[in-house]
Amino acid sequence: MRLDSGKGVLWKRLVWPALWPCLAAEAGLVLLCLLAWLMVWRAEGGLGLLMLTVGALLLGSALVLVTFLLLFQRRLHQWELGFEAPCDQLEHLLRNVYSSLPSRLKNQRLLPARDPDEGIESRLHGLLDTQQRLLERLSQRPQLEAMLESLAHPAFLAHEGTLLEVNRPLEQLLGRPRSALEGLELGYVLRHAEGAETDLRVRLPLAKEGWREFRLIRLEDGQGFSLGLLEDLDEQRHSLAQLTQARDRARQEASLQAGYLQQLQQELVPLLETLENYRGEMGEEGSALESRLQGLSDLLASLVDGSLPPPEATPSPVEPRPQVLIVDDGPVNVMLARQVLEGEGLRVVTASGGEEALALQREQRFDLVLMDIYMPAPDGLESSRRWREHEARRGEPPSVLVALTANASEADRQGFREAGMDDYLAKPYRPHSLIELVRRWLPASVREQGS
């Protein structure tokens, strides 16, 4: 039912259609009463007939009034029913918009339960209030255009192969204003690179003469919309070359360090032999010194064994490698573990304390964490508890937590389990012990990297 608009709509649609038949009936009744009065005025005994005529007029007027009210009520009901269809349509549209909101914005019900006795005015006010709340929630949705503009890489938003939005870096790269780019076919701007085996490599005409190759990262939503991000292949090659040079320099430094460690070990061997010759003369202090030097010799042997990792193939820049976090306040232990793990092809990050390790957890995920137990507060047990609490709160997959400790009694191992730790490694440890532990918890990854 079409709803009229403009001034006087209530008079035209409600009052007048019910009023004019009643006015016509009232006018006819008045005329009949006038004729009756004329006839009574000429007749004898007209007073009784005159009173009868007045009563008939009053009764007829009352009937006309009741008829008018009934007609007006019927018209009003029909007029209210005319609003039901637009209100239902508005409610349906509001529900469709509400269903497209992210789940975090659906914490409250959109429409209250409908009261069957609710009037059209109350329902319309409720729908308008709902629309206002929905607009407030829509303003909290991710602003795709703002995020697109904030990207440092060239990016665009397209629909059915037509550019809708481009950001400032892409506009500067092409040397054309966005008003001239938006609305163009995507294939007019992006060309497939010659010799490209996939659609990931494209060429762009630069603002200056020439073309440049880019890697296209494209996301689609299934409704024809797509978001594209362009990565400069020249910059990637330059970054990869820098990483390769840094790796080669690190290997050279590791080789020099291994030579220094071997030299130090060779100098320590004759010193231990001399101490053995004078063992009976030095007493308890000499025995303690010999014990400490022997421990240092064992540590140097471990460092020498693990300081020369075999050469490994250059990893692909997109190939994921397991990441290990070493949490220890002892620099010697950290250096030993890092040399061994990097030799197995793992990515290694170090932290000198529990707070630094927990801060790193908030930034990235680690497959394996080697946690020293005896550290300044928070110690290894407290850091492990807080680590597990953070994983449970964020719903992240758990990392493997391994305790590094000199004490591994049954009571200590029970404390490790209660803190959420998965395993332990007794200190001081040899490189092969560390490698066996890593292969036990990351078997597939380490075999692939170490093969």
Question: How many domains is the chain built from?
Answer: 3
170 and 130 share one domain: no
Question: Are 323 and 380 members of one domain?
Answer: yes
Query: Could you tell me if residue 289 is inside a domain?
Result: no
What pLDDT is stored for residue 66 in this prediction?
Answer: 75
Q: Please list the ranges in the chain whose pLDDT falls under 50.
A: 1-3, 196, 198, 308, 311-318, 447-451
Q: Are 254 and 339 in contact (CB under 8 A)?
A: yes
pLDDT of residue 311: 46
d(CA 292, CA 208): 69
pTM score of the predicted model: 0.36
pLDDT tens digits, residue range 76-86?
776 666 677 77
Q: Is residue 257 part of a domain?
A: no
Domain edge (last residue) among 204, 236, 268 = 236
- Asked whether residue 57 is domain-assigned, the answer is yes
Q: Are residues 77 and 179 in the same domain?
A: no
Q: CA–CA separation, 72 vs 17, rounded Å?
A: 8
Please report which residue ranges of 43-143 form alpha helices under DSSP H.
46-99, 120-138
| Mean pLDDT score of the chain | 76
- In a domain, residue 245? The reply is no
Q: Which of 185, 202, 236 is the last residue of a domain?
A: 236
Provide the residue range defining the domain that includes 443: 317-451
Which sign does the torsion angle of CA 124, 128, 134, 135 carry? positive
Whether 272 is covered by a domain: the verdict is no
Convert the pLDDT of each residue in 260-283 to its tens digit. Answer: 576 666 667 777 777 666 666 666
Half-sphere exposure at residue 287, Cβ-oriented, CA atoms within 13 angstroms: 4
Q: What is the pLDDT of residue 451?
A: 41
Indicate the SS3 state at residue 111: coil
pLDDT of residue 199: 55
46 and 88 both lie in a single domain? yes
Query: What is the pLDDT, as a whole number, of residue 92?
Result: 80
